[in-house]
Amino acid sequence: MQVTIKYNDDTAFTVEEIVKQATNFYGAKARVEVTADSSKPHDLIYFALQAMVTHKQLSLLYDDKFGYNSSIKKLRADTLLKLEEILDTVIIDNEARIQ
């Protein structure tokens, strides 16, 4: 018998944490899919950014408490650089499709 359970988890920090909790509770055969709250662009971007920075941010919070403020600025700058690269790729791809 297949059972589908859908819920929003606003307490977990990472996808891996959610998967681990579900497999611990439902067993190793549980198939867990974690996605954005909706398919709206804002939700998708939020979900992607959360996946990109959360592990590193948590490491900074726990392992680099005294240097956190400067480290988080670097993480932010690195993430913005990656986003800019992705945006540039989208713009180039769109322009290629137009021509």
Domain boundaries, the chain: 1-34, 37-98
Structure tokens at 40: 């709206």
pTM of the model: 0.82
Mean pLDDT, 10 residues at a time, over the chain (99 residues)?
86 92 90 93 96 95 93 97 98 94
Structural tokens at position 28: 């190793």
Give start and end residues of each alpha helix (H) in the chain: 15-26, 41-63, 68-98
Both tokens assigned to 97: 């499709």
What pLDDT shows up at residue 6? 86
- The pLDDT assigned to 79 comes to 98
- Report how far residue 64's alpha carbon sits from residue 32's, in angstroms, rounded to the nearest whole number: 32
